[in-house]
Chain A
């Protein structure tokens, strides 16, 4: 008789322990844990690329007080003079234009109001590096490619380009 009661007690105790255990589940406090990369994207301004007297690309920070979009950076690039005697642009006769930027996975596609003949190879690199630089600063990958779609049909429109100053291995 007493043994049986002890068995019932054991059972009740086990049940209580089980319930307590289940009830113990929940959102428990933790210590401070790192949970991934901090977001980025602020900058004093976009970096534009111009050509120096040695025919090399040179980055130039344009202090607009904000990073802005790729299109804005390209507009600044296409519109302008470097404002520095040692640098020049190899993109001509464009003026103030709007560049349409579309993003595909790993590819930044630019619809520029340019003919392939309007730019030199360095001019194309200026555009690629400026676009890619802003993309990287906004959190994009350095390995992204840039595709420039020209106004006149040309196979160059399909080329996926990289920037030697930014792209890994470039």
Chain B
């Protein structure tokens, strides 16, 4: 979240804007301050030179001799050169810095000239001026005396440097402040976003009553309202769907329950008919036997439907006890007279807590399915670890085709449409699966390496009563 998120982006933008703004202000103020400082120093120096010349000029001999030039040069100060025709007086070595441009300007002009230069890694100010002769009427003519003075501006440069340094520090100080403000701003934006996220997370976790409280009147509040509307409509349709599902389940349960009474009557009648069919002849006997078989199937179907609807309604309960798995499987096979058609391999006694009736249903459905759709021999093997129990049912038929595998546990799924009249309700594997799941176990379908279909039941061992 930290480097790439909305918060970071807000932070960067905020800090950039603030620092750039502060820097622009700092830059412009430092610039104007430094130019004012430089101009101030320049003006002061020009005034000093002018005043010194003016104050001493009236006392100077004209035309001047060397001593006069010396007098004027020392009056103006250090680093000054005074020239008159071929005469020259200098009070410092730095006057070598006087540029030809200044000399040319002074030679031909009648005003004072200045130039700033950088030399020897330092800034310098050069002042050059002719000394004028003013007539009594104010007319000015050059006297031929020229004064050049040089001043080191390092002090000013240092002042400007310290100024810019303090500006830079100020700009730097704006940085943490900007970060703080950005965090506050990001927080005020991200808090509603986080609330929305939490609400959406609760909704997706199944809490359809979750709603976010919209605050304020901004886009995020709009989004919150929209999310609430969405949650409302999802909740409404979910409720409608659940009601319809419940209705359908109840219908299946009711229908199968209502079928029981007539079916038990029908079963009784069929027993009578079975007894009587012994004396029937030919076609009539065959019809009677068909009716008996179909009635048995109908009873089985109604029983299975009731079982499934109990699972759907969530009313199925485990009644666990300590069961010896191998023995239970053997009992199951013996009850249904399958022992001669099924090879059981249960090498050791494995005790586990489970529901004996449901275990019987699981094994009966798997073995019955193998006998009906696969080919003998059918093998059942029981094995176990301290945590798990495995029951494996394998037949020797052609196995399950690839396209059937995902649907093998679907209700009323028939792998082969041509065999719709095969005995069995079409609910057997679904019921076996539900019973396994009720135990907290797992039922998988696949093909054995020898080619037949293989179903594996895995049950947790020593499971406590639920």
Contact = CB atoms under 8 A, between A and B. Distances in A.
B284 interface: no
A165 B42 CA distance: 38
B59 A14 contact: no
A17 to B, nearest CB: 8
Interface in A9-29: 10-11, 14-15, 18-19, 21-23, 25-29
B19 A39 contact: no
A80 to B, nearest CB: 18
B220 interface: no
B57 A142 contact: no
Interface string B117-147: 1100001000101111111111010110100
Nearest to A64: B61
Nearest to B113: A32
Central interface residue in A11, A44, A69, by most chain B CB within 10 Å = A11
B313 interface: no
A4 interface: yes
Contact of A42 (B112, B145, B167): B145
Contact of B131 (A14, A18, A42, A165): A42
A23 B142 CA distance: 43
Nearest to A21: B27
B8 A4 contact: yes
A27 B39 CA distance: 9
B9 A4 contact: yes
Contact of B136 (A23, A32, A38, A137): A137
B46 A38 contact: no
Interface string A51-95: 000000001000001111100000000000000000000000000
Contacts of B116: 27-30
A67 B143 CA distance: 13
A170 to B, nearest CB: 11
Residues of B in contact with A, size category: 35 or more
B123 A27 contact: yes
A121 to B, nearest CB: 20
B168 A31 contact: no
A136 interface: yes
A22 B160 CA distance: 10
A139 interface: yes
Nearest to A41: B57
A4 B133 contact: no
Interface string B10-52: 0010011001100100110011001000100011001001100
Contacts, number: 199
A107 interface: no
Interface stretch (B102-110, B410-418, B430-438): B102-110
A35 interface: yes
From A27, A36, A166, name the one whose CB has the most chain B CB atoms within 10 angstroms.
Answer: A27
Contact of B160 (A25, A136, A142): A25
Contacts of B205: none
B193 interface: no
Contacts of A155: none
A39 B3 contact: no
A34 interface: yes
B58 A138 contact: yes
A43 interface: yes
Interface string A102-145: 00000000000000000000000000010011101111001000
Given A21-B23, A34-B111, A42-B143, A3 B57 contact: no
Given A4-B8, A67-B57, 14 more contacts: A5-B3, A15-B23, A22-B168, A26-B157, A27-B116, A27-B156, A29-B123, A33-B114, A37-B111, A39-B49, A41-B60, A65-B61, A66-B59, A67-B62
Interface of B: 3-4, 8-9, 12, 15-16, 19-20, 23, 26-27, 30-31, 34, 38, 42-43, 46, 49-50, 53-54, 56-64, 99, 101-102, 105, 109-118, 123, 127, 129-138, 140, 142-143, 145, 153, 156-157, 160-161, 164, 167-168, 171
17 contacts: A14-B19, A22-B27, A27-B38, A27-B157, A28-B116, A32-B105, A35-B42, A35-B114, A37-B112, A41-B58, A41-B60, A42-B57, A42-B131, A65-B61, A68-B59, A134-B136, A142-B138
Interface of A: 1, 3-5, 7-8, 10-11, 14-15, 18-19, 21-23, 25-44, 47, 59, 65-69, 129, 132-134, 136-139, 142, 165-166
